[in-house]
A and B are shown apart, each in its own frame.
Chain A
Amino acid sequence: MRPPAPLAIISAILLCCAGFCPRANSQTKPAKKNAEATVSGKVTIKGKPAPGVVVGMRSSQPAQFDPTFKATTDQDGNYRIGDVPAGSYEVAPVAPAFVISDVNNSRGQTLVITESENVERIDFELGRGGVITGKVTDADGSPLIEERVNLVPVDQRNQRGPVYAVSSGFQTDDRGIYRMFGIRPGSYRVAIGEGTDNFYGRFGRTRPAYRTTFYPDATDPAKATVIEIEEGTEATRIDITLGETVQGFSVNGRVVDESGKPVANVSIGLDRIVVDGNNTSSSGGGTGARTDRQGEFRIEKLPPGKYSVSIYPPPDSDLRAEPVTFDVLDQDVTGLLIKSSMGASLSGVVVLEGSRDNSVLAALAQSYVSAYVREGQNITSGRADRMKPDGSFRVGGLRAGTANFSLDAMRNVKGLTISRVERDGVVQPNGIQIQNAEQVTGIRIIVAYSNGSIRGVIKIENGTMPPSGRWFIQLTRPEGGVHGSITPALADSRGHFLIEGLAAGSYEVIVMASGPGWPQRPPNAKQLVTVTDGAATDVTVTIDLTPTPNP
């Protein structure tokens, strides 16, 4: 589709102006989405044209049902993707047996495209990926079925180019055989099993946990055989024999209320706590365990380690409990006691201000209201409730502290923000203070929908960007008033960026360099921009790479 001519001229003028007047360079024009762009380029394998390769484009911030775009290369390796609306995209060949040769753009390229733009020479050079295949058996020689196989790069550099992720990952089939392909040249270890510190996905497993075992049969990574993969090589018979299983222990306990009576039918959650030096991290989730009529629960087959158990009360319950921490050493753990009590609650109404857009209303009508309570450094007690059709909500089972809100609709609809939260008509800029077991009513969450945007170009003076360099763009609002942060944007290789869903007002655009290869302290630049609702504001940010003398 061709844009109306006057619009094209105006944008040309604006870009010129922006270039000439770096100090007053932000301009606005209506955000029109119907002028579509074209992206084209060439795919080569070892310098030779690669026909029949699909090149795909998807949104940089994809949602489940966003449209995607694709085209197939012709006999000369050329592709041309048409009818692309303006926006920010990831472009890459869909060639899972191959790797992109450019290690700095190993997953493809980011492109920020404006209306009716004709982006050319988005080229990709591919090399055939390596293959590793083998069989996984247990100590008895029986094949292990549907066991996940992990590829561990020896060289840290290789982690920049992860293997193409097949939806189901690489796992063994019914014969215990696996085949990993599309592997970037480098040195790798192949590992299987879960180990004691890799907790994710532990629950609902039918099989015993095996200690992480590296090819051929080492539990110590230092004793693993390293596999060298070059372009297109196939490493066969990388067979792994799993050794000892991680012995698991059972844990049982009881959930009681304030008067010591059993609490039946609550789900039990479990977190694994990993202490690594000064860092403590935890991960976990639901266990499938539930309390019986005596309030008792049992979790099976936990490998040794540090854990905490908590309760997951049903959504309409006000029950809450502090997690109980325990260690599994070399025997079953019994008699854990989780003392629950009635928590605080927050209730009120969600109000959309300044928009009657039907799709926004529909998204909002289905939304969950989540409350997060902070006390000191800890954010705990996040609970959610689905909004009623009249916008009312009630979130219960909360601890004392400072509560803030989020709506899941904010993830699905760009430009939906909580503009302020009121309690009994008074704005609460720092969150809602709640006391122990307090039933707080009269909350109003005022939500605004705005669709202003900032489109920018980064201009480099007195130098060039290193090949692996990146630009991040962060927005802040000098006058404050934003609940939640705006996700940082990434500029494409041409220095273009786009940030959408912004409320009207002034913003500070901060451009920061990242990535290795900068000659000095990574440069950055700031600029003030005024955004109007329903419009795109163009901005050019100039970065001067002239070396600054050390202070």
Chain B
Amino acid sequence: MKRYLYNFLAALTLLITLSIAVAAQSQSDESLANAPRTGAISGRVVNESGQPLANVLVNVRAFGAGTPGRTATTDSEGSFQLSGLDPAAFVVTASLPGYVLAPRDPDSTPNGYYHLGDSIRLEMIKGGVITGTVTRSAGEPVVVVPVRAYMIRDSKGQPSRYGAPIREQTTDDRGVYRIYGLPMGTYVISAGGGSSSGYSVSAYGTDVPTYAPSSTRDTAAEIFVRAGEETANVDIRYRGEPGRAVSGIANSAVVVDQPPGFTITLNATFNGASQSSYATYQPSGGRGFSFYGVADGDYDLIAQSYFPGGDWVISEPRRIKVKGADITGIEVTAKPLGSITGRVVLEESKAPECKGKRRPLFGEIVVGPWHNEKNAPKDQPLFVWGLGVPTLPDKQGEFALRNLAPGEYRYNVRPEAKYWYLKSISWPSSPAPSGPSSAKATPPNRPFDAARNWTTLKSGDRLSGLTITIAEGAASFRGQIDLAEGQKLPPKLFVYLVPAEPEKADDVLRFFASLVSADGSFALNNLPPGRYWVIAQAVSENESNVLSKLRLPDEAEARAKLLHDAEAAKIETELKPCQNLTDYRLPFRSAAPTAGKQPALGP
């Protein structure tokens, strides 16, 4: 069963890889003007002080392809190269025992995907360590007991998303465990429980897990781990209390093609964050599933299965109350998730200055679903949101976002060619009742702006007809911040472009934000031609994902405020089709660079 737990975790890890891109800097630019038939992706892996890391396994995988991708190992200079790649959007990951990838700053490297010709810089840092001893009350060591580290909050204090990594090590003959290679964050540590297999007898698999220092999950000690640091003496006084068994059978609502088997998780909520506390597997044609060593408490039981074609089926959360007795006979049915299909349309420009510019390839344009976290059903474990992964359109531009849990969605799309911009995301009309709904009422039979409004997806809904228009004629805007005498650059300063044409004030796709580099330079790309207000504003250092948040449908107020501030600042610029505006000098006068200047944008 442990193996299946790992498979489950591996699947989650994959999802994390798909949804959150790696830390890196991409320098794709003019090099793509003439897209080669095949090409290379190269790069360098360094540690936090910029020293090269050798023998790092780098994996480069075409986005959305079911293949394991290609791997390369870095040389003594930390360099790697993979050539002969067909054009696509690529996902790049790196692994080195004991190390973790530095967390990506979504504001300085907003794009998580790479393209042919990119040169990538990956930073890996030594992971954190938690170590301690597991003993019984009389002090004797508990030997070869599994000890697990669950990340509960990430380095920024946010509840961990999409199946937080669970690391497991067993104790040695002295009861000592050592879990290393941990990403920075807050953890709880447990010993024992939760596993059993027919191949070997687990001495502790039917016990309730004991959390450090010697408690149940509710009162577990929270341990903050920094990269490269060791937290020692996280000892566990093992309680060894027998847990309960929870068993039942999972079925699929789809009968045509039987799924290969089910992963079943028991999820509990602690301090507002759902944790997949137990995982088990029901093999294909199996007689059911069982959990062992379950602690008393309330859980949501969820069964899911992956079809070879790429679709998941998942059951609605079943509330289970474990109290002093085994639970048997649970029956859950996994149903298909929702989907949204549509097409990407490329709209060419007739402007003479745009002649001969490279068109983006459909295979490079990543279309990603983004769910509304504020309105998400609370009983769904976070990993459910990780199932609906970004996708690539086919050769005709058609795409399908599959495995979408019920909720509200918007879309992340990047044009991936220098002179193209994202013009609109729309439904032909409001396809109510099962279609998208909006904050405001929309007149019928008019295109429905799916960038400014959430699309509401109910359980199992299959919506079709979403049109994403990518138009030629994009401009770019580069420049430098002019500071007043004696003034310092704030740590997180953003340059914003907001639409100056009144009829565009509602167009969220004309709102842009870019982090100013330490040297005061800034660059904004893929901008629709037109008139903009330009303004620089500092945000709190804890802010991240500023552009994505600015474009959230519910942030209309924040956009209105920004527009108001920009109008007041009265700096206007006009961008012509395919214009590369450079050396722009933008004055910045910080009245009082206070933290949290834009509370509406932050969580």
Contact = CB atoms under 8 A, between A and B. Distances in A.
B285 A365 contact: yes
A500 to B, nearest CB: 15
A368 to B, nearest CB: 11
Interface string A289-322: 0101100100011000000000000000000000
B96 A174 contact: no
Contact of A182 (B173, B203, B285): B173
A58 interface: yes
Interface string A164-176: 1011100001100
A206 B73 contact: yes
Contact of A366 (B57, B86, B284): B284
B198 A173 contact: no
A359 B288 CA distance: 11
B205 to A, nearest CB: 9
B197 interface: yes
B315 to A, nearest CB: 19
Contacts of A95: 143
A309 B196 CA distance: 39
A168 B199 CA distance: 15
B250 to A, nearest CB: 13
Interface string B194-228: 00111111110010000000000000000000000
A225 interface: no
Interface residues of B, number: 50
A466 interface: no
Contacts of A63: 198
A290 B67 contact: yes
Contacts of B197: 64-65, 68
Given A62-B199, A206-B55, A359-B287, A96 B144 contact: yes
B458 interface: no
A174 B98 contact: yes
A206 B95 contact: yes
Contact of B170 (A65, A168, A359, A365): A168
A129 B126 CA distance: 34
B201 A57 contact: yes
B343 interface: no
A56 B203 contact: yes
A314 to B, nearest CB: 11
A465 B371 CA distance: 71
A167 B170 contact: yes
A168 B181 CA distance: 16
Given A96-B173, A97-B143, A181-B172, A65 B73 contact: no
A208 B54 CA distance: 10
B173 A65 contact: no
Contact of B71 (A129, A204, A208): A204
A174 B285 contact: no
B172 A54 contact: no
Contacts of B181: 174
Given A290-B67, A359-B285, A174 B180 contact: yes
B2 A167 contact: yes
B56 A70 contact: no
Given A174-B98, A206-B73, A365-B285, A64 B199 contact: yes
Interface in A81-103: 92, 94-97
Given A68-B201, A70-B201, A166 B285 contact: no
Interface in A494-528: none
Contact of A363 (B57, B202, B285): B285
B55 A208 contact: yes
Contacts of B284: 366
Interface string B1-33: 110000000000000000000000000000000
Contacts of B180: 173-174
Nearest to B200: A58
B170 A56 contact: no
The SS class assigned to the A binding surface is loop
A64 B4 CA distance: 10
B198 A66 contact: yes
B199 A56 contact: no
B260 A174 contact: no
Nearest to B199: A62
A140 B206 CA distance: 45
Interface in B114-150: 126-127, 129, 136, 140, 143-144
Given A54-B203, A206-B57, A292-B84, A97 B173 contact: yes
Interface string B42-55: 00000000000001
Most chain-A CB neighbours within 10 Å: which of B97, B256, B284? B97
A145 B197 CA distance: 29
B35 to A, nearest CB: 15
B199 A58 contact: yes
Interface in B50-70: 55-57, 67-68, 70
Given A63-B198, A174-B97, A174-B129, A166 B144 contact: yes
Nearest to A183: B173
A300 B287 CA distance: 44
A67 interface: yes
A283 B499 CA distance: 65
Nearest to B37: A293
A68 B196 contact: yes
B38 interface: yes
Contacts of A179: 172-173
A174 B143 CA distance: 20
A105 interface: no
A42 to B, nearest CB: 18
B477 to A, nearest CB: 38
Contacts of B283: 64-65
A362 interface: yes
A288 B70 CA distance: 7
A325 B566 CA distance: 71
B170 A166 contact: yes
B490 to A, nearest CB: 38
Interface string B141-180: 0011000000000000000000000000110110000101
A146 interface: yes
A94 B201 contact: yes
A133 to B, nearest CB: 9
Interface string A136-148: 0000000001100
Most buried by B among A62, A182, A207, A389: A207
Given A70-B201, A94-B201, A173-B180, A207 B285 contact: no
A207 B67 contact: no
Nearest to A176: B98
A366 B201 contact: no
Interface in A42-67: 52, 54, 56-59, 62-67
A383 to B, nearest CB: 18
A293 B285 contact: no
B55 A207 contact: yes
Contacts of B198: 58-59, 62-68
Nearest to A56: B201
A241 B199 CA distance: 36
A94 B170 contact: no
Contacts of A94: 201-203
A454 interface: no
Contacts of A97: 143, 173
A167 B129 CA distance: 21
Given A65-B283, A94-B203, 14 more contacts: A57-B201, A62-B198, A65-B198, A66-B198, A68-B196, A94-B201, A95-B143, A168-B169, A206-B57, A206-B96, A290-B70, A293-B38, A301-B73, A363-B285
Closest 10 CB pairs of A and B: A56-B201, A66-B198, A362-B285, A206-B57, A181-B173, A174-B180, A97-B173, A54-B203, A145-B97, A146-B97
9 contacts: A54-B203, A56-B203, A65-B1, A70-B206, A146-B98, A164-B144, A174-B127, A206-B95, A300-B73
Interface of B: 1-2, 38, 55-57, 67-68, 70-71, 73, 84, 86, 95-98, 126-127, 129, 136, 140, 143-144, 169-170, 172-173, 178, 180-181, 196-203, 206, 256-258, 260, 283-287, 290
